[in-house]
Chain A
Amino acid sequence: MNSGVLGARTIVSQSGWKYAASIIFTGLAILIAAEILYFMGMVSFLTTLTAALSPVIALLLGIIGLNFFGRESLVKEDRFHAMNVWMALGLLVFSLSEIAGVLLRITGSSSDIYFTVGLVQMPALLLWGLGVVGYLRSSNSVLGVFNGNKMSSIIIIITALASLFLVVIMTLIHPAQSLLITFVSVPMIIGLGITLCILGGIVWILRGGLIARPLILMFFGILLLLIRSLFWGFVNYCPGSPFDYVTAIEGYILVGASLAAASGLDDVFVIEEEEEAD
């Protein structure tokens, strides 16, 4: 075969996207149902429903994600695979935090809910951060966007500065707010924000490829969870409300959908080649 023009028509396997689409439709259905119940005035029923759904969905999607990616060893140098495993494990830990929140609300110690839930969410966020940063390092080692050491320094400096800035802002906005709450919400907001920025950068670099699609879903999922954390930190919004739970559910659903979509990338190609020799 000479150096011919390879006119390749690529049909990407849709199996991963079928799962992703069904998960996204479930999310939309929950959203619509929540709207209907809210406008019908059935707020207490909606609260109970979403409080139950939130941990269940995070748990289920975490298990599904592990089913897609957890079968193979983490030891091998596959950062994309590792990131998805960490995201799935993170979802499982988030489900624990949701369960803790529900239990605390039932026992009635509402002032501590925010602190406890936030604290349990930390390991989940750590897992997500590990996954995303690992993938960034791996991609960067090939694409060379940043100098390796420079990248770590930038992340550390931004995290430190943003944390300080946020503590000051939160203290100014809510001077009466407990310091415990501030010290829980700041790492959450910063962690999610940094993860989101890194993910946004990766999506931007890979925007021309199919791999960007699951990453975009992941981006929006984390964005919803960041919005939830921002509400907790700034609006003095009561955790455990239907809006809070729906935001969390939709966030988990988008992250779960991204895992399903990413799993489809393994079935990469059914290709019909049209080769034209020069």
Chain B
Amino acid sequence: MNINNLYIIKRDTGVCIYHKDFTESGFDPQLLSSFLVAMTSFFDEATQSITSQARAFEGTDYKIVVEFGEWTLGAVSTKEDSAQIRTKLKRMIERFEEQFSVLRWVDIDLAIQTRFEQSVIDEFVRYLIIPDTVITVRAGWEHYTKKPDVMSFLRIIPSICSVKDAAEFLEVPIEVALNLAAEALWENAITVYNPVKPDDIYQATSITRPGAEDEKLSPETAKALSELDGETPVSIAAERMRTSDMKRFLKDVAILEKRKMIELVTPAHAVAVRYTSALHSLLKGCSKIVGITAMRKVFLVSREKLVGTYPWMAYVTLEEGVDIEMRSSLTAATIKGTIGPDVLNDGFRVIMQFITRRVKDLTGAQPMNRIIANTREEIQQQFPSTAYEIEWETLVV
């Protein structure tokens, strides 16, 4: 999620009351805020509609995503318009309106930039930092930050290390190191890089950079590119290529990512891929005992019950046997991020609960729990660092 700028604008005056520039572009926020308020008002007038509101303005390689609060308007300049960005922006607006509600009626100095800083860090920066994130301390970092905590943090840690290593080095809990790294990133005192993980899912991009043809790929790296199809985790791609050196493979993937020939799929798509793998494994395990025909029926009956609550589930179907297929429209929505990962997570969890409870009636509780445990092991092998995001405990019967 590449966010360049964040704006919070007072709707009735068009004044930008909070702004954060993540790119140090030096662009005047007031220029954009006036434009946004004018354009949104124009669209409302032009369409003669009370309910419709302009939601995004699109450039060639950026988008300005807009969300409306009660008396403010939030906007982010970003590369992609996804459900996740909108959710974060909405949360940001709600928090702002709650914290600075008095600004609706009067214009006073509430030191917004400083007081709202932590909320923005929590929403837009903190998620970028994970224990494996590699921190690179910038040369002359002392000029970027004056925060005592961050300064003492950066003074002690090596100039390049992972957050996990930094926590061990400082002998502090990992959470503390994660927060300090987020603050340092906010202050631009460090740059961060998330190394490729075995359960990351990458897809090929269609971006052709100028001069890219001059950079020859090694045969191994080119072969790795063909395996990253947006559906397959890196670990499985490595297995398919029968690579003996996982580190080398991860390095190849990192090269491809650096050259922007591949990109990480959206969180929604990652959730969908993870859950369809889990669902397929679960159905396959159950079908070995109760048969494929019965399992197909169990799946279809369960899905039927849930389509009312989760309409997108109608696009999750079965191919031959118990192979799960996501229809192209749902896949497109997950790739674009127009459907949130939470929604998918919730729906898939519930259908798996329905299935396990129904199969329990056929096989009894103990075999069903054994199948769940097997599925869990299989998914942990495929997605070692994200398998825990499936709530396995809720599936146990």
Taking Cβ atoms with an 8 Å cutoff, the residues of A that contact B are 1-3, 6, 8, 10, 12, 72, 76-81, 138-139, 141-144, 205-212, 265-269, 271, 273
Interface: B90 (CB within 8 A): no
B292 surroundings in chain A (CB, below 8 A) = 76-78, 81
CB distance from B216 to the nearest CB of A (A): 44
CB nearest neighbor in A for B310: A1
What are 14 A-B interface contacts by the 8 Å CB criterion? Answer: A3-B349, A3-B394, A6-B353, A77-B292, A142-B288, A142-B371, A143-B289, A208-B365, A208-B366, A266-B297, A267-B297, A268-B362, A269-B298, A269-B361
Chain B residue contacts of A2, Cβ below 8 A = 346
**B358, A78: Cβ atoms closer than 8 Å:** no
Residues of A close to B364: CB separation below 8 A: 206-209, 212
Q: Is the CB of B346 within 8 A of A1?
A: yes
> Measured between alpha carbons, how far is A265 from B357 in the docked complex, in Å?
15
A140 nearest in chain B by CB position = B288
**Contact between chains at A78 and B287 (CB < 8 Å):** yes
Known: A208-B364, A211-B289. 11 other contacts (CB 8 A): A1-B350, A3-B391, A76-B321, A80-B291, A81-B291, A139-B289, A142-B370, A205-B366, A205-B367, A206-B367, A265-B291
Q: Flag if B350 contacts A211 (CB, 8 Å).
A: no
Question: Which of A1, A10, A72, A209 is most buried by chain B, counting CB atoms within 10 A of its CB?
Answer: A209
Query: Which A residues are CB-close (under 8 A) to B293?
Result: 72, 78, 81, 266
Partner of B289, one of A1, A142, A144, A207: A142
Which chain B residues (102-137) contact chain A, with CB distance < 8 Å? none
Q: Mark B302-326, 1 if CB is under 8 A from A, else 0.
A: 0001000110000000001100000
Secondary structure call for the A interface: mixed
Q: Are B288 and A6 interface neighbours, CB within 8 A?
A: no
B residues whose Cβ falls under 8 Å from a Cβ of A:
285-294, 297-298, 301, 305, 309-310, 320-321, 346, 349-350, 353-354, 357-358, 360-367, 370-371, 374, 391, 394
Residues of A near B361 (CB, < 8 A) are 10, 12, 209-210, 269
CB distance from B162 to the nearest CB of A (A): 33
Q: How far is the CB of B279 from chain A (nearest CB, A)?
A: 16
Whether the pair B301, A269 counts as a contact (CB closer than 8 A) is yes
List chain B residues, Cβ under 8 A from A271: 301, 305, 358
Most buried by A among B298, B363, B364, B374: B363
Q: How far is the CB of B4 from chain A (nearest CB, A)?
A: 36
The 4 tightest CB contacts between A and B, nearest first, are A208-B364, A80-B291, A209-B364, A209-B363
Assess the A10–B289 pair: CB atoms within 8 A.
no
Smallest distance from the beta carbon of A15 to chain B beta carbons, Å? 13
Please, which residues of chain B bring their CB within 8 A of the CB of A1? Answer: 309-310, 346, 350
Determine if B350 and A268 form an interchain contact, defined as CB atoms under 8 angstroms apart: no
The minimal Cβ–Cβ distance linking B72 to chain A, given in whole angstroms, is 30
Complex alpha-carbon distance, A209 and B356, angstroms: 12
CB-contact partner of A6 in B320, B354, B391, under 8 A: B354
| Most B C-beta atoms less than 10 A away, residue of A10, A77, A81, A142 | A142
A78 to B363, CA, bound (A): 16
* Inter-chain contacts of A269 with B (CB < 8 A): 297-298, 301, 358, 361
Across the interface, B297 reaches (CB within 8 A) one of A10, A81, A206, A268, namely: A268
Chain A residues near B285 (CB, 8 Å)?
Answer: 142
* Chain A hits for B394, CB < 8 A: 3
A80 in contact with B289 (CB, 8 Å): yes
Given contacts A1-B309, A138-B289, A269-B298, contact A209 B371 (CB under 8 A): no
Q: How far apart are the CA atoms of A206 and B290 in the complex, in Å?
A: 10
Across the interface, A138 reaches (CB within 8 A) one of B288, B310, B362, namely B288
User: What residues on A are CB-neighbors of B286 within 8 Å?
Assistant: 142
Q: Is the CB of A142 within 8 A of B374?
A: yes
Complex partner residue of A206 from B289, B294, B349, CB under 8 angstroms: B289
Compute how far the CA of A188 lies from the CA of B346 in the bound complex, rounded to whole angstroms.
54
Q: Which residues of A contact B320 (CB under 8 A)?
A: 76
Give Cα A180 to B374, complex, Å.
49
Nearest opposing residue in chain A for B287, CB measure: A78
Q: How far is the CA of A269 from the CA of B354 in the complex (A)?
A: 12
Q: How far is the CA of A2 from the CA of B361 in the complex (A)?
A: 23
Q: Which residue of A lies closest to B361 (CB)?
A: A10
Most buried by A among B285, B298, B320, B350: B350
> A274 to nearest B CB, angstroms?
12
**Shortest Cβ gap from B371 to chain A (Å):** 6
Quick one: closest B residue to A83, CB to CB? B291
Distance A59 CA – B127 CA, assembled complex (angstroms): 68
Q: For B305, what are the chain A residues with a Cβ–Cβ distance below 8 Å?
A: 271, 273
A10–B305 CA distance with the chains assembled, in angstroms: 14
Give complex CA distance A266, B360 in Å. 15
List residues of chain A with CB within 8 A of the CB of B288. 77, 79, 138-139, 141-142
With both beta carbons as reference points, the residue of chain B lying nearest to A13 in the complex is identified as B297
Contacts of A138 in B (CB 8 A): 288-289
Q: How far, in angstroms, from A78 to B286 measured CA to CA in the complex?
A: 11
Q: In the complex, A144 Cα to B358 Cα: how many Å?
A: 21
Complex alpha-carbon distance, A60 and B349, angstroms: 45
- Minimum CB–CB distance from B303 to chain A (whole Å) comes to 13
Q: Which residues of B contact A8 (CB under 8 A)?
A: 354, 357-358
Residues of B near A3 (CB, < 8 A) are 349, 391, 394
Residue ID in chain B nearest A138 by CB atoms: B288
Residues of A within 8 A of B289 (CB): 80, 138-139, 142-143, 206, 211
A81: nearest residue on chain B (CB-CB)?
A: B291
Contacts of B362 in A (CB 8 A): 209-211, 265, 268
Name the B residues within 8 Å of A12 (CB-CB): 361
A10–B292 Cα distance when bound, in Å, is 20
